[in-house]
Structure 1
Amino acid sequence: MHTMKHSFKLSMAALAMTCAVSAFADGEAKNVIFFLGDGMGPVTVTASRIYKYGESGKLAMDTMGRTARVKTYSLDAQTTDSAPSMGAYMTGVKSRNEVVSMDGNTFAQGSFRPTTDTSVTPNVSSAINNCPATGNGASVPTLLEQAIAKNKATGVVSTARLTHATPAITYSHICNRNAEYDIARQAVPGGVGANPALGTGVDVLMGGDSRYWVPFNTSISGKGRPDGRNLVAELQAKGYTHVTDLTTMNAAPTAAGTKIIGLFDQAIAEGQMSYELDRNPALEPSLAQMTAKSIDILSKNANGYFLMVEGGRIDHALHGTNAARALADTIAFDDAIKVALDKVDLKNTLIVVTADHDHVMAFNGYSHLGNNILGKTTNYRTKQLEMAADGKPFTTLVFGNGPNRKAVRDDLTSVDTIYNKNYQQETGVRLSSETHGGGDVMLFAKGAGSAGFKGTIDNTKVYTLLKKAFGF
Structure 2
Amino acid sequence: MKKLFLALALAAIGGTAAAADAKNIIFFLGDGMGPTVITAARIHGHKEEGLLKFERLERVARLKTYSHDAQTTDSAPSMGSYMTGVKINNEVISMWDSQPSAPQKDANGNLGVDTCKAGNGKPVPTILELAKAYGKSVGAVTTTEATHATPASTYAHHCHRNSGYAIAVQAVPGGEGYNAALGDGLDVLMGGGAMHFTPYDKQNNPKGRIDGRDLLAEMAARGYAVARSKAEMAAAKPGRKFVGLYGESHLEYELDRTATPPRGEGGKQPSLSEMTAKAIELLSPNPKGFFLMVEGGKIDHALHGSNARRGIVDLLAFDDAIQTAIDHMQQIDPGLRNTLIVITADHDHTLAFNGPSPRGASVLDIVRHADGSPAHDADGHTYTALTFGNGPNRKNQRSDVSSEEAMGEDYLQETGVRLRGETHGGGDVKLYATGAGSAVFKGTMENTRVFELMKAAYGF
For 1:367, the equivalent position in structure 2 comes to 357
Determine if the alignment matches structure 1 residue 184 to structure 2 residue 184. Answer: no
For 1:4, the equivalent position in structure 2 comes to none
Determine if the alignment matches structure 1 residue 409 to structure 2 residue 410. Answer: no
Task: Find the partner of 1:313 among 295, 298, 309.
Answer: 298
2:382–2:399: 8 Å Cα contact kept in structure 1?
Answer: no
For 1:175, the equivalent position in structure 2 comes to 159
Q: How does 1:291-440 map to 2 (within 5 A)?
A: 291-344=276-329, 345=333, 346-379=336-369, 381-413=370-402, 415-418=404-407, 420-440=408-428
Q: Which runs of 5+ in 1 are unaligned?
A: 1-10
Return the alpha-carbon distance in structure 1 between the equivalents of residues 403 and 58 of structure 2.
43
For the residue of structure 1 that corresponds to 2:233, the secondary structure is: helix
Return the alpha-carbon distance in structure 2 between the equivalents of residues 274 and 294 of structure 1.
19
Instruction: Find the structure with the greater CA-based Rg.
Output: 1
2:225–2:236: 8 Å Cα contact kept in structure 1?
Answer: yes
Structure 1 residues 16, 73: closer, same or farther in 2, change over 3 A? Answer: closer
Q: How far 1:421 moved relative to its partner? A: 1.0
Return the alpha-carbon distance in structure 1 between the equivalents of residues 233 and 244 of structure 2.
8
Q: Find runs of 4+ consecutive structure 1 residues off by over 6 angstroms.
A: 19-24
2:199–2:205: 8 Å Cα contact kept in structure 1?
Answer: no
For the residue of structure 2 that corresponds to 1:211, the secondary structure is: helix
Q: TM-score, normalized by length of structure 2?
A: 0.93
For 1:7, the equivalent position in structure 2 comes to none
Determine if the alignment matches structure 1 residue 454 to structure 2 residue 454. Answer: no
Return the alpha-carbon distance in structure 1 between the equivalents of residues 214 and 186 of structure 2.
18
Return the alpha-carbon distance in structure 2 between the equivalents of residues 235 and 456 of structure 1.
42
For 1:264, the equivalent position in structure 2 comes to 246
The code of the aligned residue for 2:163 comes to: A
Q: Percent of aligned positions with the same letter in both sequences?
A: 53
Deviations 1:377-406 (CA, angstroms, capped at 9, x unpaired)? 111x32221111121111000000000001
Determine if the alignment matches structure 1 residue 121 to structure 2 residue 143. Answer: no
Determine if the alignment matches structure 1 residue 145 to structure 2 residue 135. Answer: no
Deviations 1:269-315 (CA, angstroms, capped at 9, x unpaired)? xx200000000263110000000000011100000000000000000
Structure 1 residues 316, 282: closer, same or farther in 2, change over 3 A? Answer: closer
Return the alpha-carbon distance in structure 1 between the equivalents of residues 167 and 411 of structure 2.
34
Q: How far 1:26 moved relative to its partner? A: 1.1
Return the alpha-carbon distance in structure 1 between the equivalents of residues 37 and 223 of structure 2.
40
2:18–2:440: 8 Å Cα contact kept in structure 1?
Answer: no
Structure 1 residues 122, 471: closer, same or farther in 2, change over 3 A? Answer: same
1:275–1:313: 8 Å Cα contact kept in structure 2?
Answer: yes
Q: Which runs of 5+ in 2 are unaligned?
A: 259-265
2:103–2:113: 8 Å Cα contact kept in structure 1?
Answer: no
2:67–2:87: 8 Å Cα contact kept in structure 1?
Answer: yes
Task: Find the partner of 1:242 among 226, 242, 256.
Answer: 226
Aligned residue pairs, count: 445
Deviations 1:307-335 (CA, angstroms, capped at 9, x unpaired)? 00000000000000000000000000000
More displaced, 452-461 or 339-348? 339-348
The code of the aligned residue for 1:392 comes to: H
1:360–1:401: 8 Å Cα contact kept in structure 2?
Answer: yes
Return the alpha-carbon distance in structure 2 between the equivalents of residues 456 and 18 of structure 1.
20
Return the alpha-carbon distance in structure 1 between the equivalents of residues 313 and 204 of structure 2.
32
Deviations 1:33-87 (CA, angstroms, capped at 9, x unpaired)? 0000000000010100111111111111111100000000001110000000000
For 2:81, the equivalent position in structure 1 comes to 88
The code of the aligned residue for 2:251 comes to: M
Q: How far 1:415 moved relative to its partner? A: 3.9
Q: How does 1:199-278 map to 2 (within 5 A)?
A: 199-253=183-237, 255=238, 257-265=239-247, 268=248, 271-278=249-256
Return the alpha-carbon distance in structure 2 between the equivalents of residues 294 and 286 of structure 1.
12
For the residue of structure 2 that corresponds to 1:188, the secondary structure is: coil
Q: How far 1:199 moved relative to its partner? A: 1.1
2:17–2:456: 8 Å Cα contact kept in structure 1?
Answer: no
For the residue of structure 2 that corresponds to 1:224, the secondary structure is: coil
For the residue of structure 1 that corresponds to 2:387, the secondary structure is: strand
Deviations 1:427-455 (CA, angstroms, capped at 9, x unpaired)? 00100000000000000000000011000
Deviations 1:224-256 (CA, angstroms, capped at 9, x unpaired)? 001000000000011111111211111111x2x
1:162–1:209: 8 Å Cα contact kept in structure 2?
Answer: yes
2:145–2:191: 8 Å Cα contact kept in structure 1?
Answer: yes
Q: How far 1:97 moved relative to its partner? A: 0.3
Return the alpha-carbon distance in structure 2 between the equivalents of residues 471 and 36 of structure 1.
22
Return the alpha-carbon distance in structure 1 between the equivalents of residues 373 and 17 of structure 2.
57
Structure 1 residues 21, 438: closer, same or farther in 2, change over 3 A? Answer: closer
Q: How far 1:121 moved relative to its partner? A: 2.7
For 1:28, the equivalent position in structure 2 comes to 21
